[in-house]
Amino acid sequence: MLKKRPIEFDISDEHQDGDEIFNEVFEMRFMDSKAKFEWNMYTYVTFIILAVAMILNFFLPKYMYIILAIAAIIMIFCYYLNNKKRLQLIADKRICKVRLKNKERNVQGYTKIKPKNAVAIMKEKCLIIEVSVADYYEEMHINNAVSIPLEILEEEITKMNVNKDETILVYSRGEERCDQAAQKLVDLGYSDVYSFGSIMDWPFEVVINDNN
């Protein structure tokens, strides 16, 4: 049965998590030059307001607190407008998120990613492998994942005849075991391998066997 653990996650809010989403795995692509300006338009306005406030404080020091208070209110409003504008740019597809494969980023080994990046990659065509022992997989696993224990990974992945360029995501019960599996796949010649650690840290949907 598919169950969801409680977590707040909104795919439309990805632009606010720059380090999480638009990192070395994903790249922001602007569809036109104007979109690139609009993405940070209100950030530029905020810097201008800050500069004006500093100049006014120099010439009108007795009104410093009033000037700073007004500047702070305007800057907070600009922050709100900036987030609203970015959501609109994403909705209009004037900016999009593109994933760069390991080869495109000149990565020779595998890439360690966080769950939010993993769930984004899973929307594409990819192979998801749990390398825990089979009993752990039966208890709980990620939807669409296949069970290939680390001990037989080389033998089974060879039998499956997986393309060397295919995107492979690996997880386990323990992070160390997961990293060992990812490295083994790289050693076998697979070029687009991602390790996202332990299922115990996975905050999204999982398949749970209620009979266990």
* Tens of pLDDT, residues 22-59: 345 887 788 888 998 998 899 999 999 999 999 999 99
The fraction of the chain above a pLDDT of 70, given in percent, is 88
In contact, 136 and 145? CB cutoff 8 Å? no
- Tell me the mean pLDDT in the region 90-98: 86
The CATH number given to whatever domain includes residue 165 is 3.40.250.10
pLDDT, position 153: 95
Residues 87-114 as b/e (b if ≥16 CB within 10 A, e otherwise) read eebbeeebbeeebeebeeeebeebbebb
Query: pLDDT by residue (tens digit) across 13-24?
Result: 333 333 333 345
pLDDT, position 33: 86
Domain around 203: 102-208
Does 161 share its domain with 204?
yes
AA identity, residue 109? G
Q: How confident is the model at residue 68 (pLDDT cuts 50, 70, 90)?
A: very high
Does 51 share its domain with 118?
no
Tell me how many domains the chain contains: 2
Does 112 share its domain with 202?
yes
